Structure 1
Amino acid sequence: MTIKFKVTEKGQPGVIGGGTKSFYATSIKSGDTGIEEITESIEKISTVSGADIRAVLYALIDTIPTMLADGKSVKLGEIGNFRISISSEGKEKMEDVNAGCIKKSKIIFTPGKKLKTTLSNLKFSKAAQ
Structure 2
Amino acid sequence: MLNYSIAMRSNPIDKGAPKKAYATSQYSEVMNINQFAEHIASHGSVYKRSDVAAILTMAVDCLREQLLEGKKVELGDLGFFYVRISGEGAPSAAEYNPAIYVKKLNVKWQCGARFKDLLGEAVFNLVAPRSVSQKVLKAHKAGETTVDISPEVTEEETDDQGGMGV
Out of 26, 29, 38, the position equivalent to 2:27 is 29
Bigger radius of gyration: 2
**What residue is the counterpart of 2:65 in the other structure?**
66
Q: CA 1:72–1:128 in 2, change beyond 3 Å: closer, same or farther? A: closer
Q: CA 1:109–1:102 in 2, change beyond 3 Å: closer, same or farther? A: same
Q: AA paired with 2:72?
A: S
Q: Normalized against structure 2, the TM-score is what?
A: 0.63
Q: Can you give the 5+ residue segments of structure 1 that lack an aligned partner in the other structure?
A: none
Q: How does 1:82-101 map to 2 (within 5 A)?
A: 82-90=81-89, 93-99=92-98, 100-101=100-101
CA distance in 2, matches of 1:19, 1:46: 56
Q: CA 1:37–1:94 in 2, change beyond 3 Å: closer, same or farther? A: same
Q: AA paired with 2:112?
A: G
% of aligned pairs identical?
Answer: 29
CA distance in 2, matches of 1:94, 1:43: 52
Q: How does 1:97-112 map to 2 (within 5 A)?
A: 97-99=96-98, 100-112=100-112
Q: CA 1:112–1:93 in 2, change beyond 3 Å: closer, same or farther? A: same
CA distance in 2, matches of 1:13, 1:103: 25
Q: How does 1:1-80 map to 2 (within 5 A)?
A: 2-13=1-12, 19-20=16-17, 21-44=19-42, 45-80=44-79
- Aligned pair count reads 126
Q: AA paired with 2:37?
A: T
CA distance in 2, matches of 1:53, 1:128: 35
Q: What secondary structure, in the 3-state scheme, does the structure 2 residue paired with 1:117 have?
A: coil
Q: Can you give the 5+ residue segments of structure 2 that lack an aligned partner in the other structure?
A: 130-166
CA RMSD of aligned residues (A): 2.5
CA distance in 1, matches of 2:102, 2:71: 19
Q: Higher strand fraction: Structure 1 or Structure 2?
A: 1
Q: Normalized against structure 1, the TM-score is what?
A: 0.78
**What residue is the counterpart of 1:126 in the other structure?**
126
